[in-house]
Amino acid sequence: MFKIVQMISPGIVKTINDHLNEVIEPQLTMDVSSYANSRMRAWLQYEAPLSISQPWKSAIKDDRIWSYVTKIGEKHGFIPDIGLVSKGGAIREHRDAFYCNFLSMGINLGECTWTYRNCYPEYKWTPNQNDNAEQEIYHLTGGEVFLFNAKNPHSVSRASEDRWAINLWTVSKKGMSGFNEIKEATQ
């Protein structure tokens, strides 16, 4: 289920975008995932590997952004472990990799079209997934905080060049040993 749980006011969206443009923009690097090859992004707290054989890495620790997004998450019962900030760029339909749990949070800070297919009807795995779930299309304008199942197919298109987005995850059981190792190693 794709569910908008909060709208951030335009004034606050501008404050966040100003901070991202000033502090995070210089730290952006090109996305290495095959489904987002033109997108610029930066990981928050720790960088998750896309396959289980690759290492976790340390990432940007920005207290201002991290405490803000954690506070938003807490309001909706979601305490993130890691995040990814991205600017512009389309993302082809994909499901998020092994490192995260099903329930995810997104914070959209600009204009884009977000699509989603509700194959898993809940925020968890189920044996009777509906592979033919219809595509849902959401035209987002900026300020939307939403929950969705990251293992359901989702994509972003028509993102404006200056559109920032923050994705937040909790680390899955499969990702936990690598996540704990990198946390310990960089403490």
Nearer to Fe ion, 47 or 96 (CB): 96
Is 62 an interacting residue with respect to Fe ion (CB under 5 A)?
A: no
Best CA proximity match to 40, nearest among 147, 171, 159:
159
CA-CA distances (angstroms) from residue 186 to 17, 28, 100, 150? 28, 21, 20, 27
Identify the residue among 31, 47, 81, 96 touching Fe ion (CB under 5 A).
Answer: 96
User: Rounded to the nearest 5 degrees, what angle is found at the Cα of 136, between the Cα atoms of 20 and 123?
Assistant: 75
The alpha carbon of 65 is separated from its chain's Cα centroid by a whole number of angstroms, namely 14
Nearer to Fe ion, 36 or 182 (CB): 36
Q: By the 8 A CB rule, do 178 and 186 touch?
A: no
Q: How near is the Cβ of 120 to Fe ion at its closest, in Å?
A: 14
Q: How near is the Cβ of 181 to Fe ion at its closest, in Å?
A: 24
| Count of residues near Fe ion by CB under 5 A | 1
Q: How near is the Cβ of 81 to Fe ion at its closest, in Å?
A: 16
Binding site for Fe ion (CB under 5 A): 96
